[in-house]
Structure 1
Amino acid sequence: MNRHTSLRLASGAALTALALALAACGGGGEKAEKAEGGEAAAAADYERGPHNGRLLRDGDFSLEITIYEEGPEPLFRLYPYLNDKPLDPRQVQATIALTRLGPKVDRFAFTPENDYLASPGVVSEPHSFDVAVNAARGADRSTWTYQSYEGRTVISADAARAGGVTTARAGSAVLGESLPLSGRVELTPEAQSEVHARYPGRVVSMTVQLGSRVTRGQVVARVESSESLQTYSVTAPISGVITAKNVNPGAITGNGDPMLVIGDPTRLHAEFFLYPRDAERVRVGQRVEITSMSGDNRASGVIEAILPSDDVLSQTLVAHVELPYQGGVWRPGLGVQGRVQVGSGEVPLAVQTKGLQPFRDFTVVYAKVGNTYEVRMLELGRRTDEWTEVLGGLEPGTEYVVDGAFLIRADIDKSGASHDH
């Protein structure tokens, strides 16, 4: 079984465990469906007004609640009616209180504008709250309350534990800033040696072939000197593998070109290409995490040298990082990926990157209050594999889901939540 198959099976098992636990706990799943189903079913359960908003009635007076989302920020607009006919908004005073999970209360006061009542207060995400509406028309008073939830579910502690859900508190973190690199595996300069004949002459015999393994001092060829006609042995200067063979028996050698080239495959480094935009941030001594192209093999090292590339016109530099042998998993010529740590700094608010999930057009985490979980739409900054900086959308100290966040998302998706007002 490969790694990806194992992950799929693990995810499936976790979802199954969560579903069984919800059923066994006697109501956790049903509560989640009602909480979110109230939003989805609301389209059929509550009356809508001419502007497709929720229509609240009190005798012959009614008030249509809408959220106007065509501008830069979502805003409430209230349309009053008397006997189902538009009423001058100047005759109505209204307030709304939104009690959010936490709890936190957002309050809105309204003033007449055109044919509706408007409030400057932004209806911040998520649009998930208990709503209390108060309206006054002369001496008449009307009050309404209702629930408008999205991205929310209720899961018992036992069910969450069975599903592998874990949480953490949002707070400060140290983010290591990194840059992605690409390169290839090469033999180190010290791992390569050319084999030359000491005296010009004819190659009498060769005992090795391309790819043969040799040890230091091993006889690799015999050459007959052109001057003395004496035959002498040529030996390997290092241990390794024959990587190039330039002569065969009968050939004349000693003209300056090597007879053979030997490379030691246990002495490797990774050569990473640094483009001008990144080169100024990369230094000798910085740590690099190295990954094979398949992602199956990993190693860690430090930059030991930064040198110009062979192509002077490209202005590309090459960073050399020592690579452990690791039983031969790294081979010269193979492509590798790297990530170099170029800096680090503390940010006041961050979440663990693995807790991030997509929700509509947002990236979110799931806040936890008691046994209730709800989306928090985030404004994000810098990101690493471990931590992501949060610039807005989450209060410090909020408990949020780290492991098992996709299970919470699946339960919310299953309940049929909608963004409906």
Structure 2
Amino acid sequence: MKIYLLGAAPVMALTLLAACGETATPEKEDAAATASEYERGPHRGRMLRSGPFALEITIFEDGVDPEFRVYAYRDDKPVKPTEVALAIELGRLGGRIDRFSFTPQDDFLRGSGIVAEPHSFDVRVVAREGGRRHKWSYAAYEGRTAITAAAAKAGGVKTEAAGPATISDRIDMGGRIEITPEGKADVRARLPGLIVSLDGNLGQQVRRGQLLARVESSHSLQVYPVTAPIGGTIIEKNVNVGDTTGDRALFVIADPAKLHAEFFVYPRDAERIRVGQAVTLKNLSGEGQLQAEVEAVLPTADVASQTMMAHVHLPPIASRTFRPGMGVEGSFAVAQTNVPIAVRTKAIQRFRDFEVVFARVGDTYEVRMLEIGRRTPEWTEVLGGLRAGEVYVTDGAFLIRADIEKSGASHDH
């Protein structure tokens, strides 16, 4: 179902509402009345009575967008709709007012517009029949609750205003964390000889130029030092004192702050992956999310899998969460579109058959049924149901939903 915002109704409705305040003797319902407490009419609508005259207010939505259908009675007998002039105002949370005029149709009065979701409002009804004016007011709330600022803060509820955002078309793929080529070095002896001392140990943090070993040259019998070519951690130690150097590396040093992620790009995606594209990375547990960029796409493909390799540069801070050899998931932003209204995807909840967010006005929270466009893990485009600038719950939305469900706020007319 599409969500529409209702504009101003015709002048007749405004005139009727303005005039009725002069002579009417209203019957006002208790604003706190629940659906089970008010009288229902033959069409299961809400009965409003004023002496012998009565209206039955229904919202009809069987196969059509929700609309008002109102039935009139005198002494509990149907009154022709042509004998009644009617106007209804709906006061929404946040101050918006939807106005409806009515025209006769068959045995009822039909409202002039769509009753937009949520069906949660303060209702003002004005009718004229037989030279008499009648007015009623009542509250009909659904998906609404009140929570103090202190309680919301304690529950971790956070909000922000809906507004423009950049929605990205994304490709997801798996990869692994590796140390960059410049972040890894083999430590070798310059000349063959006998290792006479070792100052480096497995797992040791070393700085560039630090002494790691002394070697006695087989040719000159002079002892020369072997130092660390880069700073980092010794991740391999391949010799002991008394060994000869040979061609093997004495040590392997790695700088854990110099990382990149390697992704295998399948042929179907190869033309869409470009250097500079934004990538959202997270480890396989779904934690440790990080924003990065594609730094290189290697031009060669693997013979067996026909995949290409994309390298994503990671900032030094990544070493706090990601380790070399770890599996990682990457979401590549291959195209971007600016949209006028979007909400954070994590804010969206289920309510009845709708995807919703919860708007906040002061200490009051109310459901907003969304018409949704494009969606990414971070942002979801909003096509209807929420206006730009409306404040909505981004964190703790499930607590708001639970409080509404506990209060029994129902979809009832």
Smaller-chain TM-score bracket: 0.5 to 0.7
The amino acid of 1:95's aligned partner reads L
Task: Indicate whether 1:125 and 2:117 are aligned.
Answer: yes
- For the 8 Å contact 1:309–1:318, the answer to whether it is kept is no
Q: CA deviation at 1:420?
A: 0.6
Q: Which residue in the other structure is 1:163 paired with? A: 152
- For the 8 Å contact 1:303–1:322, the answer to whether it is kept is no
Consecutive unaligned residues in structure 1, runs of 5 or more: 1-33, 197-206, 220-234, 246-252
Secondary structure in 1 matching 2:113: strand
**Matches of 2:268 and 2:319, distance apart in 1:** 36
**Matches of 1:402 and 1:325, distance apart in 2:** 26
Q: Of 79, 91, 108, which aligns to 2:71?
A: 79
The amino acid of 1:80's aligned partner reads A
Task: Indicate whether 1:377 and 2:369 are aligned.
Answer: yes
**Matches of 2:318 and 2:340, distance apart in 1:** 40
Change (3 A) 1:309 1:324: farther
Q: Which residue in the other structure is 2:104 paired with? A: 111
**Matches of 2:321 and 2:131, distance apart in 1:** 84
Where in structure 2 are the equivalents of 1:256-405 lying within 5 Å? 264=254, 266=256, 269-273=259-263, 274-276=265-267, 278-297=269-288, 299-307=290-298, 308-310=300-302, 317-322=309-314, 324=316, 330-342=322-334, 344=336, 346-351=338-343, 355-360=347-352, 361-368=354-361, 370-383=362-375, 387-402=379-394, 405=397
**Matches of 2:320 and 2:161, distance apart in 1:** 43
- For the 8 Å contact 1:365–1:378, the answer to whether it is kept is no
TM-score (norm 1): 0.64
Q: CA deviation at 1:418?
A: 0.8
Aligned length: 368
Q: Which residue in the other structure is 1:420 paired with? A: 412
**Matches of 2:370 and 2:88, distance apart in 1:** 23
Q: Which residue in the other structure is 1:18 paired with? A: none
Change (3 A) 1:315 1:55: same
**Matches of 2:308 and 2:86, distance apart in 1:** 63
Work out the percentage of aligned pairs sharing the same amino acid.
44
**Matches of 2:318 and 2:305, distance apart in 1:** 36
- For the 8 Å contact 1:353–1:384, the answer to whether it is kept is yes
Change (3 A) 1:418 1:301: closer
**Matches of 1:153 and 1:380, distance apart in 2:** 24
Q: CA deviation digits over 1:334-387, x for unaligned, max 9?
A: 21123444455543334455654443323123131x554333323233456665
**Matches of 1:277 and 1:92, distance apart in 2:** 68
Q: CA deviation at 1:306?
A: 1.0
Secondary structure in 2 matching 1:412: helix
Secondary structure in 2 matching 1:130: strand
Q: Of 58, 63, 68, which aligns to 2:60?
A: 68
CA RMSD of superposed structures (Å):
5.1
Q: CA deviation digits over 1:298-337, x for unaligned, max 9?
A: 5554322112542565555534435648668644432112
- For the 8 Å contact 2:120–2:140, the answer to whether it is kept is yes
**Matches of 1:145 and 1:328, distance apart in 2:** 60
Secondary structure in 2 matching 1:163: helix
The amino acid of 1:93's aligned partner reads V
TM-score (norm 2): 0.65
Give the number of the structure whose residues are more often helix, by fraction.
Answer: 1
The amino acid of 2:104's aligned partner reads T
Q: Which residue in the other structure is 1:93 paired with? A: 84
The amino acid of 1:54's aligned partner reads R
